[in-house]
Amino acid sequence: MKSPVYDIAIIGGGINGCGIARDAAGRGLSVFLCEQNDLAGGTSSASTKLIHGGLRYLEYYEFRLVREALREREVLLNAAPHIIWPLRFILPHHKGLRPAWLIRLGLFLYDHIGGRKILPGTTSVNLKSDAAGKVLKANYSMGFEYSDCWVMDSRLVVLNAMDAAAKGASIKTRSPLLSAARTGKTWQLQLLDKTGNKTYQVEARSLVNASGPWLDELLNHISHTETKEHIRMVQGSHIIVKKLFDHERAYIFQNEDGRIIFAIPYENEFTLIGTTDKDFHGHPDEVAISPEETDYLCQAASEYFLRGITRDDVVSSFSGVRPLFDDGKSDAKAATRDYVLKLDTGKNEAPLLSIYGGKITTYRKLAESVLARLKPFLPGMGADWTETSVLPGGDFRPDAFDFSVRELQSRCPVLNTKLATRLFRTYGTCAYAMTDTIRDRKDLGISFGQDLYGFEVDYLIAEEWARCASDVLWRRTKLGLFLSAAEAEKLDSYIKTKVSAAEQISPVTDEEK
């Protein structure tokens, strides 16, 4: 049987690629997406995990980007209230940093240019009397408090992929592109199925390069018109320490070098500190936090917190490469975070659209922009639809989270409150179906530690493309912070046995070989 000709093929399983796949599939297009490793395996799982307007981008006059991002906060909050929730930020102030009047002006714009309806506005805060000031040094006596949102970044990617697949998209992980060549009005893609070590072909009418930091490298394997545009790879690193404060608000700190860092409550027991901004010239696969970045983040946070932070306090860290559009600016922190789309039609041939830059907050608008650019080549495309739709598991009111956890426990009394809360926070209403057959403790399946059981892992294998322990422990959840090496090894062995058995039953189809 001959394989189908897809309307659109997408390279890259990060937030942009999966967001485009979901939007396109919902418009009635046939969609193919390939990812060389796991979903969110690169930049999209290494963010500061914020849905935010980007307060500091106002200094660089990026008003369009900030306005769009601020508006998207509440759109995404309504779409996925299990993995996105409001977060208040404390901005301490003292002389020598940005003047108070400038901060007030910036926060006034931040409150009003994005059409805020749900999130509370900015207030002043007395750090001498407020609980947020008790962990700060004495010279910070006043500050401001404003709103943004927190997001489980890698889960946002997976939910978009799940919704795309539910609408008919073909999502192939661990399937790197080998080459893509135009054959007139279609693209012929050569791909490798790494799991089965087999090559296969896909044909599509349009091609989107959403490979992020790999964009320039991948263009060497794709037929394209020569271009002067390039990505600028900027490394952002974060450290995780035992929690530094007990309240649920975050901090945004201004540094003397003009940069800012965040200190954010993380996974109940930790504080996330980041990020750095420095140009990166290596291979994206090899990005890792440097000792200098670790020292920078420790020192920057120690300027504010009463308790000094050193390398010895770091329990984990992560680093990613932001694929920004190279706008020629010398300072990495000033490089635009806005996205740029480049359309290449060759000699009136099948279109190639390459994505430079972007940020997780504006991925949905980026997807709409991509499909608007491709519409002349795909005339059967439906209209915009994602603004008022929910992502898998998000069909409950944002203010009904606690009620929903109790509902989950009433349906499945075997679950303790800690596990029920984590399940609903991670999967939303999908947790109901996941636990529907659990009647007693034996139905939970094998225990891997930290309330991670076989039933959840089986769900992640079947529904969320999990294929190894790191997929589960670092991208579907953050339980990697808690499980021991032996427990992680036990989990990895379990997953690989399950996946191997499933692949023997459902091998790669003939048309994909």
In a domain, 12, yes or no: yes
In a domain, 73, yes or no: no
Domain match, 189 and 130 both: no
Residue 511 has pLDDT above 60, yes or no: no
pLDDT grade, residue 255 (50/70/90)?
Answer: confident
Domain match, 147 and 167 both: no
Mean pLDDT of the chain: 93
Residue 41 has pLDDT above 60, yes or no: yes
Question: What pLDDT is stored for residue 104 in this prediction?
Answer: 87
The arithmetic mean of pLDDT across residues 380-389, rounded, is 97
Residue 105 has pLDDT above 60, yes or no: yes
In contact, 33 and 172? CB cutoff 8 Å: yes
The arithmetic mean of pLDDT across residues 285-313, rounded, is 97
Question: 98 exposed, middle or buried (CB, 10 Å; 0-12, 13-18, 19+)?
Answer: middle
Domain match, 262 and 291 both: yes
Domain match, 499 and 452 both: yes
| Count of Cβ atoms closer than 10 Å to residue 59 Cβ | 13
Least confident among 109-118, 143-152, 195-204? 109-118
Residue 18 has pLDDT above 50, yes or no: yes
Residue 53 has pLDDT above 60, yes or no: yes
In a domain, 57, yes or no: no
The arithmetic mean of pLDDT across residues 95-103, rounded, is 78
Cα dihedral 240→246→248→254 (10° resolution): -60
Domain match, 275 and 176 both: no
Question: CATH no. for residue 431?
Answer: 1.10.8.870
Cα-trace Rg, the chain: 23
CB-based contacts of 66, cutoff 8 Å, min separation 6: 53, 54, 57, 58, 109, 110, 113, 114
Residue 513 has pLDDT above 60, yes or no: no
In a domain, 331, yes or no: no
**What distance in Å separates the CA atoms of residue 446 and residue 454, rounded to the nearest whole number?**
5
pLDDT grade, residue 116 (50/70/90)?
Answer: confident
H or E element that contains 325: strand 314-325
**What distance in Å separates the CA atoms of residue 54 and residue 331, rounded to the nearest whole number?**
17
Residue 501 has pLDDT above 90, yes or no: no
Domain count, the chain: 3
pLDDT grade, residue 510 (50/70/90)?
Answer: very low
The arithmetic mean of pLDDT across residues 79-100, rounded, is 90
Q: Interior CA angle at 341 toward 340 and 346, to 5°?
A: 140
Domain match, 408 and 450 both: yes
Domain match, 266 and 202 both: no
Domain match, 202 and 219 both: yes
Residue 437 has pLDDT above 50, yes or no: yes
Question: CATH no. for residue 278?
Answer: 3.30.9.10
Question: CATH no. for residue 213?
Answer: 3.50.50.60
pLDDT grade, residue 421 (50/70/90)?
Answer: very high
Domain match, 243 and 138 both: yes
The arithmetic mean of pLDDT across residues 60-77, rounded, is 90
pLDDT grade, residue 369 (50/70/90)?
Answer: very high
In a domain, 449, yes or no: yes
pLDDT grade, residue 336 (50/70/90)?
Answer: confident
The arithmetic mean of pLDDT across residues 440-451, rounded, is 97
Among 291, 306, 326, give the residue marking a domain's end: 326
Domain that holds residue 415: 398-505
Question: What pLDDT is stored for residue 97 in this prediction?
Answer: 72
Domain match, 402 and 484 both: yes
In a domain, 79, yes or no: no
Residue 330 has pLDDT above 70, yes or no: no
Question: What pLDDT is stored for residue 508 in this prediction?
Answer: 46
Among 291, 307, 326, give the residue marking a domain's end: 326
Strands, DSSP E only, in 18-141?
Answer: 31-34, 50-51, 84-93, 123-126
Domain match, 362 and 476 both: no
Residue 7 has pLDDT above 80, yes or no: yes
Residue-wise pLDDT for 143-162, tens only, equals 999 999 999 999 999 999 99
Question: What pLDDT is stored for residue 509 in this prediction?
Answer: 44
Residue 335 has pLDDT above 60, yes or no: yes
Question: What pLDDT is stored for residue 338 in this prediction?
Answer: 84
**What distance in Å separates the CA atoms of residue 355 and residue 231, rounded to the nearest whole number?**
9
Examine residue 275 and say whether the peptide bond preceding it is cis (omega within 30 degrees of 0).
yes
In a domain, 77, yes or no: no
Question: What pLDDT is stored for residue 512 in this prediction?
Answer: 42
The DSSP annotation for 352-366 comes to EEEEE---GGGHHHH
Domain match, 360 and 285 both: no
In a domain, 127, yes or no: yes
